[in-house]
Amino acid sequence: MARLEIESEVTGNVWKLEVQAGTRVDAGDVLMMIESMKMEIPVEAPEAGTVSELRVAEEDAVEEDQVIAILET
């Protein structure tokens, strides 16, 4: 079991969460959408696993490189 820290690539706002803590995901599944500079950026799971922690809520502001979720693979 590896623990992957999912980081936001950009500064922006969490527009929509697509998963909850405990959701099982495949590689490429969208975890959440972040809005930045009017673009809706999907944050995808890099590997298959279980979302063990969501560190942000909808409408939260996030910064570049901020850890936004933890994925157990």
Q: Which is nearer to other proteins, 42 or 46 (CB)?
A: 42
**What are the two backbone dihedrals, phi and then psi, of residue 22, each rounded to the nearest 5 degrees?**
100, -15
CA-to-CA distance for 10 and 52, rounded, in angstroms? 22
Binding mask 2-31 for other proteins (x = CB under 8 A): -------xxx--------------------
Binding mask 33-62 for other proteins (x = CB under 8 A): ---xxxxxxx--------------------
For 42, the token pair is: 């999907």
* CB 67 to other proteins: min, Å: 15
Nearest-CA neighbor of 69 among 26, 11, 1, 23? 23
